[in-house]
Amino acid sequence: METDSAISANSTTETTALDPGPAPGGPTIRRSSILIADGNPNTAPMLPAALRELGYEVFTVPLPFFVQSIALQRKPAALVLGTNLPKGGPATVMRGLRAHVETAAIPVVALTAPGTDKQALSSAGVDYCLDLPVTDTEIVAALREHADTSHPVAGAPASIIRDAARLAALDGTRLLDSEQEAELDAVTLLASRILNVPVALVSLVDHRRQFFKSQVGLQPPWDDLRETPVADSFCQWVVSSSEGLIVADARIHPVLCTNRAISDLGVIAYLGIPISAPTGETIGSFCAVDAQPHPWREEEVTAMRDLALLVDAHISLYSPVPPEHPFENRQKYLRAATRAAGRGFFGAAHLIRRGRKLLGDSDFVELLSLVERHSCKLVDLAIEPPRAQ
pLDDT digits (tens, 9 = 90+) for 337-386: 999 999 999 999 999 988 777 888 889 999 999 999 999 999 988 886 55
Kind of pairing between the strands at 108-112 and 78-82: parallel
- Residue 330 reports pLDDT greater than 70: yes
Confidence of residue 53 (pLDDT cuts 50, 70, 90): confident
- Residue 86 reports pLDDT greater than 90: no
pLDDT of residue 333: 83
Start-to-end CA span in the chain (Å): 59
- Mean pLDDT is lowest, of 53-62, 103-112, 278-287, for 53-62
**Domains with residue ranges and CATH for the chain:** 5-146 (3.40.50.2300), 158-383 (3.30.450.40)
State which amino acid sits at residue 128.
Answer: Y
Q: How many CB atoms lie within 10 A of CB 203?
A: 28
The 3-state secondary structure of 281-332, one letter per residue: CEEEEEEEEECCCCCCCHHHHHHHHHHHHHHHHHHHHHCCECCCCHHHHHHH
CB 269 within 8 A of CB 251: no
pLDDT of residue 322: 66
CB 143 within 8 A of CB 112: no
pLDDT of residue 15: 29
Confidence of residue 52 (pLDDT cuts 50, 70, 90): confident
Read off the pLDDT of each residue in 259-264 and give the average, rounded to a whole number.
96
Read off the pLDDT of each residue in 8-24 and give the average, rounded to a whole number.
31
208-252: per-residue pLDDT in tens? 999 999 999 999 999 999 999 999 999 999 999 999 999 999 999
pLDDT of residue 220: 93
Confidence of residue 83 (pLDDT cuts 50, 70, 90): confident
- Residue 21 reports pLDDT greater than 50: no
Of all residues in the chain, the percent with pLDDT exceeding 70 is 87
Confidence of residue 6 (pLDDT cuts 50, 70, 90): very low
**Nearest-angstrom CA–CA distance, 255 and 82:** 26
Name the residue among 200, 367, 365 with its Cα closest to residue 285: 200
* Alpha-carbon torsion, ordered 222, 256, 123, 61, to 10 deg: -140
CB 173 within 8 A of CB 205: no
- Residue 94 reports pLDDT greater than 90: yes
The 3-state secondary structure of 25-86, one letter per residue: CCCEEECCEEEEECCCCCCCCCHHHHHHHCCCEEEEECCHHHHHHHHHHHCCCEEEEECCCC
Rg (CA), the chain: 23
Read off the pLDDT of each residue in 314-330 and give the average, rounded to a whole number.
77
**Nearest-angstrom CA–CA distance, 57 and 31:** 10
